[in-house]
């Protein structure tokens, strides 16, 4: 029996993730969307590309969660983007309601699945997903660190004119401008970037990484990034589906690690069939620890704000 991945939300990130999963032949894909015809149309279009791309993954578009039954992974991209005039709390309330409903349905039909959250505000939505699903913390994971680290890697590779394959980088913390890129743990073919660039230039790349998503939004004028976010969530899914046990930075529920308790935050984890199989604890400097705690504090504010909502 082939593995199965359901993606809730057939927008740009969801549809692009479906395309990558199918073309890599990682699993059969069910695409779900609340807007009638969108998931069906995009799935049909992707299925018709299969003879050209030479894969046999089955793609199903639907508005019915029953089709998602027995999924190994459920990727949740559903939610609304922040619009002009919308406060942070408005966005939080709207997407909390959407995610609660989606997770309830997903958990009902795929009770053994791993949930990968993409909906924003991401770290807060992970809390909603874990609470609503009742899943163990190992099976609720947020996609942010892989994306943020990929942006940092791309900037480093361009700066040094080297292959992106040689570049490894690490970004911890929440998905936002308080994220914590770690130059000390970022290397090119094993050489720390602190040996290859000036502190000033590294600082500029760190700052650009923190606003990586905003930079794309400003260039596009309408819409936001989706190629890299989709690639990031598929890398996570592949490690789980193939039990590759990759070490990837993801939003994980911490219970004392890094001095953070009862909160989702971006840290390096080992991803395998069971979801998060291990949280990797790094020895951070005082400054790095302070930045990570500052990032966690921003996430905790959102979680506390949700508790005050009816």
Sheet containing strand 191-192, edge to edge, reads: 167-168, 187-188, 191-192
Residue 81 CB partners (closer than 8 Å, separation 6+): 120, 224
Q: Which is it for the CA torsion 172, 173, 175, 178, positive or negative?
A: negative
Token readout for 128 is 């909603």
Token readout for 1 is 């029996």
Q: Judging by DSSP bridges, how do beta strands 171-172 and 167-168 pair with one another?
A: unpaired
Active site residues: 175
Q: How many CB atoms lie within 10 A of CB 53?
A: 12
Contact assessment for residue 107 and residue 136, using Cβ atoms and an 8 Å cutoff: no
Q: How many CB atoms lie within 10 A of CB 157?
A: 17
Which letter does DSSP use for residue 115 in this model?
A: E
Token readout for 287 is 């400054």
Q: Tell me the three state secondary structure of residue 287.
A: helix
Token readout for 225 is 């990034």
Contact assessment for residue 56 and residue 22, using Cβ atoms and an 8 Å cutoff: no
């Amino acid at each position: 029996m082939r593995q199965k991945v359901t993606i809730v939300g057939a927008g740009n990130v969801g549809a692009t993730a479906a395309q990558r999963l199918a073309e890599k032949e990682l699993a059969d894909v069910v695409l779900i969307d609340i807007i009638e015809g969108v998931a069906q149309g995009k799935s049909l279009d992707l299925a018709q590309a299969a003879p050209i791309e030479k894969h046999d993954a089955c793609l199903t578009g639907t508005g019915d969660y029953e089709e998602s039954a027995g999924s190994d992974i459920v990727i949740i991209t559903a939610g609304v983007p922040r619009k002009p005039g919308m406060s942070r709390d408005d966005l939080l309330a709207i997407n909390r309601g959407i995610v609660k409903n989606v997770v309830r349905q997903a958990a009902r039909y795929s009770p053994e699945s791993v949930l990968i959250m993409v909906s924003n505000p991401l770290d807060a939505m992970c809390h909603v997903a874990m609470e609503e699903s009742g899943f163990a913390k190992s099976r609720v994971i947020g996609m942010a660190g892989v994306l943020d680290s990929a942006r940092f890697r791309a900037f480093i590779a361009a700066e040094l004119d080297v292959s992106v394959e040689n570049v490894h980088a690490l970004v911890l913390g929440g998905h936002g401008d308080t994220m914590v890129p770690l130059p000390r743990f970022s290397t090119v073919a094993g050489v720390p970037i602190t040996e290859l660039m000036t502190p000033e230039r590294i600082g500029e790349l760190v700052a650009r990484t923190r606003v990586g998503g905003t930079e794309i939004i400003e260039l596009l004028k309408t819409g936001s990034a989706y190629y890299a976010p989709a690639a990031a969530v598929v890398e996570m899914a592949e490690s789980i589906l193939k039990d590759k046990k990759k070490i990837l930075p993801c939003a994980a529920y911490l219970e004392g690690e890094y001095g953070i308790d009862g909160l989702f935050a971006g840290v390096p984890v080992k991803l395998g069939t069971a979801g998060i199989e291990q949280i990797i604890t790094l020895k951070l400097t005082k400054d790095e620890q302070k930045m990570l705690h500052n990032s966690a504090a921003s996430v905790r504010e959102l979680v506390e704000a949700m508790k005050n909502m009816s």
